């Protein structure tokens, strides 16, 4: 009973928040609703008893959306509404509808509940984090390691791209030199 009420409550909240994230013209509203939508999704994990995944969702997406905020802060005036430039409405429509259709097809399996089964069912012997660890390090070891290597590559790439002049500190460079660089 409680679970069902909570489920529908969270569903309405999530859909509403993501709708705001898509349709709002204000960057601040869009990002805030995105962040809170991500937090609300953690509620679903708690509902089905996957506490660990819920908290991971919370920690990971809180951090990720905060990085998004940083970009928003740098690129937009967050207190003003944004005027979007859409050059071809047709393309946006076609791509959007196709994506929506694909997603619907992907999740069609959910219509028939018998078709869904857990490949690694939860057992009462293990606590939540242990179960996640078991799944990650046995059945899904290879994708897990591949993802890890991908993230490592991304990190190194980021450092290389951003860190070209990391050996000189901006505070140590004299103002005149900095101005000269600006003029170039």
Partner 1 sequence: MDALTIGTIIKILIILAIVSAIAGFGTYIERKVLAFMQRRLGPMHVGPFGLLQIAADGIKLFTKEDIIPQNANKFIFSLAPVITAATAFIAMAALPLFPTFTIPKSLPVIGGAIVPSTVADINIGILFILGTMAAGLYGPLLAGMAQSNKWGIIGSARTAVQFLSYEVVTGLSVLAPIMLVGSLSMIDFNDAQAGGITSWLIWQQPIAFVLFLIAGFAETNRTPFDLLEHEAEIVSGYLTEYSGLRWGMFFIGEYANMITISIIAAVVFCGGYNDLAFISGWFLFVLKVVFFFFLMLWARAAWPHVRPDQMMWLCWKVLMPLAVINILITGIVVML
Partner 2 sequence: MAHIEEHKETHTVQKEKQNYVMLDLGKTPKFGMPAFIQVVKRSLSLELLKGLGVTFREMINALFKGKMHTTKYPFEKLPISPRYRAIHEMLRLLESGHYRCIGCGLCEKICISNCIAMETRYDENQRKEVSQYTINFGRCIFCGYCAEVCPELAIVHGGRYENASEQRAGFSLFEDMLTPIDKLKEQKEFAGFGSISPNADENIKKTPLAY
- The nearest distance, CB 18 to partner 1, in angstroms, is 17
How many residues form the binding site for partner 2 (CB under 8 A)? 3
**Is the CB of 127 or the CB of 138 nearer to partner 1?**
127
Instruction: Give me the sign of the Cα torsion angle 145, 148, 152, 153.
Output: positive
**Is the CB of 15 or the CB of 73 nearer to partner 1?**
73
String marking each residue 124-163 x if it binds partner 2 according to CB under 8 A: ----------------------------------------
Query: Which parts of the chain fold into alpha helices (H)?
Result: 2-23, 27-47, 51-75, 89-106, 128-137, 141-162, 175-183
**Is the CB of 104 or the CB of 169 nearer to partner 2?**
169
Q: What does 55 interact with, of partner 2, partner 1, none (CB < 5 to 8 A by kind)?
A: partner 1
In the list 3, 114, 124, 172, the residue contacting partner 2 (rule: CB under 8 A) is: 172
- The nearest distance, CB 112 to partner 1, in angstroms, is 33
> Distance (Å, rounded) from C-alpha 135 to C-alpha 123?
12
> Distance (Å, rounded) from C-alpha 97 to C-alpha 88?
15
Query: What is the CA 107 to chain-centroid distance, rounded?
Result: 20
Pull the structure tokens for residue 132: 């996640």
Cα–Cα distance list, 146 to 81, 86, 142, 169 (Å): 41, 37, 6, 36
In the list 3, 84, 124, 167, the residue contacting partner 2 (rule: CB under 8 A) is: 167
> Distance (Å, rounded) from C-alpha 159 to C-alpha 87?
34
Q: What does 127 interact with, of partner 1, partner 2, none (CB < 5 to 8 A by kind)?
A: partner 1
């Amino acid at each position: 009973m409680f679970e069902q009420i909570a489920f529908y409550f969270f569903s309405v909240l999530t859909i509403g928040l993501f709708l705001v994230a898509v349709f709002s013209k204000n960057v601040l509203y869009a990002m805030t609703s995105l962040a809170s939508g991500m937090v609300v999704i953690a509620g679903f994990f708690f509902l089905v008893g996957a506490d660990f995944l819920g908290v991971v969702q919370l920690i990971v997406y809180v951090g990720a959306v905060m990085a998004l905020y940083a970009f928003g802060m740098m690129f937009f005036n967050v207190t003003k509404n944004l005027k979007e430039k859409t050059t071809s409405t047709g393309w946006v429509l076609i791509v959007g509808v196709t994506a929506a259709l694909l997603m619907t097809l992907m999740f069609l399996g959910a219509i028939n509940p018998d078709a869904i089964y857990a490949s690694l069912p939860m057992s009462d012997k293990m606590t939540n984090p242990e179960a996640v660890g078991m799944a990650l390090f046995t059945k899904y070891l290879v994708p897990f390691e591949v993802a890890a290597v991908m993230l490592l590559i991304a990190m190194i790439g980021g450092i290389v791209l951003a860190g070209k002049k990391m050996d000189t500190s901006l505070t140590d460079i004299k103002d005149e030199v900095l101005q000269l660089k600006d003029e170039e």
